[in-house]
Amino acid sequence: MIRSMTAFSRCDRSTDWGTLSWEVRTVNHRYLEPSFRMPEELRAIESNIRERLSKRLGRGKVECNCRFQPQQGGETNLTINTELARKVVETSREIDHMLYNSAAVNSMDILRWPGVIDTGSADWDSLRKISLTLFDKALDDLITTREREGERLKAMIVERLDAMVVIVADVRQWIPEIIQAQRNKIIERLAGLEVELDDARLEQEAAVLVQKMDVDEEMDRLATHLDEVRRNLEGDKPVGRRLDFLMQELNREANTLGSKSINIDTTRASVDLKVLIEQMREQIQNIE
């Protein structure tokens, strides 16, 4: 199934110690590139999260943000890691001296720093297990969104493929008529010069003309590439890179058609093909 690389999911869960939440956001990228933001107490599960991502996602820049909001008004007490807070403040001041226009850092910025607030009474072993389960749910939702968006991308690409098939069929139909018309035009021009025509030489020149204008091979390759794009769209593995390569090959054949064109119809067909290819290529950049 085709998947988009752009998606977002969020899952929350209340616990005895507070509320856990996962936000997972993905955008297009050449490779799988995950990044993580989470409380220091949950860092121990980062390797498990990476493993889950690599098994289920093929490509994309993935931002994974985990937050823990301690329970308010209950038995959970908030304590400040004074030593860590002091180091954060000192480091911030050192960086300020390096900048021309430093931004002010307030107390809330310091409190948001991982590990500054210590919720000592929380059962972090239980929270790590809950966090993994919650991440799995967020990942399920993310993949569902990517597949839903992928279906829309697939429909758009198939629509362009159908239009290209029509253009290729039209060009195949036009070429014999165009070649014959061009041959007749040459004969008429030579006749107007009132010179004796060498039939053998005329046939030879006509054969050279036909060879220069022949685009049967280009049309065959275009048709083959179009079929290959359709086949890949029906696959169940990441195909974004392969589709991108096929767009390059399609564009190559469309350019050759334009370079061999001696007729306004084939020139227009070449331009129309390249427009459709570019429209597909832009969307394929976002396919996993």
pLDDT in tens, 165-211: 999 999 988 888 877 777 777 767 766 666 666 667 666 766 666 66
Please tell me the distance from the alpha carbon of residue 132 to that of residue 66, in angstroms, as a whole number: 10
Establish if 3 belongs to a structural domain: no
Please tell me the distance from the alpha carbon of residue 53 to that of residue 58, in angstroms, as a whole number: 9
pLDDT tens digits along 119-131? 556 688 999 999 9
Establish if 100 belongs to a structural domain: yes
Q: Are residues 97 and 165 in the same domain?
A: no
**Average pLDDT score over the chain:** 85
Q: What is the mean pLDDT of residues 102-113?
A: 68
Position 220 scores a pLDDT of: 92
Q: Are residues 197 and 237 in the same domain?
A: yes
Q: How many domains does the chain have?
A: 2
Give the CATH number, domain containing residue 155. 1.20.140
Establish if 154 belongs to a structural domain: yes
Q: Are residues 108 and 233 in the same domain?
A: no
Whether the CB-CB separation of 249 and 258 falls below 8 Å is answered with: no
Q: Are residues 233 and 190 in the same domain?
A: yes
* Owning domain of residue 87: 79-118
Position 78 scores a pLDDT of: 60
Establish if 229 belongs to a structural domain: yes
Establish if 38 belongs to a structural domain: no
pLDDT band of 65, cuts 50, 70, 90: very high
Sign of CA dihedral 138, 147, 156, 6: positive
Establish if 273 belongs to a structural domain: yes
Establish if 106 belongs to a structural domain: yes
pTM of the model: 0.72
CA distances from 83 to 97, 117, 131 (A): 22, 11, 28
Establish if 123 belongs to a structural domain: no
